[in-house]
Amino acid sequence: MKVSIFDVAQKSGLSVVTVSRVINNAGTVREKNRIKVLQAMKDLGYSPSAAARSLARGKTGVIGIAIMTLNDSFLDAVVKEINDKLSEYHYLLALFVSHEGESSLHNAMFQENRVDGMIVLSPIDEERYEQELTRKNIPYVLVDNQQHLSRSSSIQVDNFTGGYEATKHLIDLGHASIAHICGPESFLSSRERVRGYHAAMQEAGLFPRMEQGGFDISSGYEIAERWLQSGDMPTAVFAADDMMALGVMDALKNNGIRIPDDVSVVGYDDQLFATQFRPWLTTVRQPVEEIGAQAVELLLRQIEHPEDGEYAPEHFKLQPELIVRESTGRPSNR
């Protein structure tokens, strides 16, 4: 039978509150009582759980995370990193998947006294989250949010640089006909990748060419098919995410177009499948581990130090990395 904090209290002859204070290293416990509790824990082989640690702090030991989709290996990777980092601090993660136009704040899990804090990943209705979480006095951090400078602590990736580097890579290879398939305009990340693309094209004196995609395979496929059918295929494509890039590559291969001999393709995110299909995809890697670690550190600083009063928001902009693989090369003379 699993040993509980109540067993430790009974064996030591002290209250559960005292045991909890010892577990949490509170300075208000008499030394002789602390020794009794530690000895009882040793005798029983008791290892304190997150719940036990939470008793003295008046906390739940649970962090909530709101996310719009699970059909994205990049976002999945961010959630995994957050979960792994939280476990180091003995916190549990409660996940809620919301949909555009729907707020996870209506879910009972994310009300007062249900979670100690929240991480909101790629929120569309950002201001509503800020207003509601502030009103409920729940600490929170925004990740991949839609405002350049939020009122709350936030973590963003420098998508302007990512878009610029992806486009510059194609320009340096000698491509002049470079199209960009952008993501939905509602996302700041999409708009910033477009800015980076335009900056690189303007710098090289090249004419920009853009198509609106939907962060999915089908939109990339359909756009590439349309180019092929019209006989107006560019020599290089920068897609705003790996899903659309994969759709482009699928259309090209189905039509006998060689990658990268005939057309080069660059994606964004470095999702799992980037090295599971041939040719391996050149893409822009987002710093998943750093995103997860920074999100947790920012949130726990708010949770663990409420005595600091009004928390000054911190904003981090992390740098992406261009990963060159097999899907890009110099243009052929066709």
pLDDT digits (tens, 9 = 90+) for 139-188: 899 999 888 777 788 999 999 999 999 999 999 999 999 999 999 998 99
DSSP 332: P
pLDDT computed for residue 276 by the predictor: 92
With 0-12 CB in 10 A as exposed, 13-18 as middle and 19+ as buried, what is 265?
Answer: buried
Specify which residues 17 forms β-bridges with: none
Give the number of other Cβ atoms within 10 Å of residue 35's Cβ: 13
* C-alpha to C-alpha distances, 226 to 234, 242, 255, nearest whole angstrom: 12, 19, 12
Instruction: Kindly state the tokens that stand for 147.
Output: 């405002």
Which pLDDT score is estimated for 97?
Answer: 78
Q: What is the CA radius of gyration of the chain?
A: 25
Low-confidence ranges of the chain (pLDDT < 70): 1, 24-27, 49-58, 70-71, 99-113, 306-311, 333-334
Round to whole Å and give the CA distance between 237 and 239.
Answer: 6
Residue 9 to residue 162: CA distance in whole angstroms: 56
DSSP letters, 175-193, are ---EEEEE--TTSHHHHHH
252 vs 95: CA distance, rounded Å: 38
* Secondary structure (3-state) at 313: coil
- Whether residue 283 contacts residue 270, with contact meaning beta carbons closer than 8 Å, is answered with yes
Q: Please report the pLDDT score of residue 82 as a whole number.
A: 93
The answer to whether the CB of 194 falls within 8 A of the CB of 162 is no
The β-bridge partners of 178 are 236
Which one, of 88, 96, 130, 143, lies nearest residue 115 by Cα?
Answer: 96
Helix (H, G, I), strand (E, B) or coil at 155: strand
Number of residues written out for the chain: 334
Rounded-to-integer distance, Cα 177 and Cα 173, Å: 12
**pTM of the model as a whole:** 0.80
* Residue spans of beta strands (DSSP E) within the chain: 62-67, 92-97, 117-121, 140-143, 154-157, 178-182, 209-212, 236-239, 264-266, 283-285, 315-318, 321-323
- Please tell me whether the peptide bond between 287 and the residue prior to it is cis, using omega within 30 degrees of 0: no
Paired sense of beta strands 92-97 and 62-67, if any: parallel
Domains of the chain from N-terminus onward:
5-57 (1.10.260.40), 62-157+288-316 (3.40.50.2300), 159-286 (3.40.50.2300)
Alpha-carbon span 53 to 68, nearest angstrom: 31
Q: With DSSP H G I counted as helix, E B as strand and the rest as coil, what are the percentages for the chain, rounded to 5? A: 45, 15, 40
| 61/56 Cα distance (integer angstroms) | 11
107 neighbors 120 (Cβ within 8 angstroms): no
| Residue type (1 letter), 259 | I
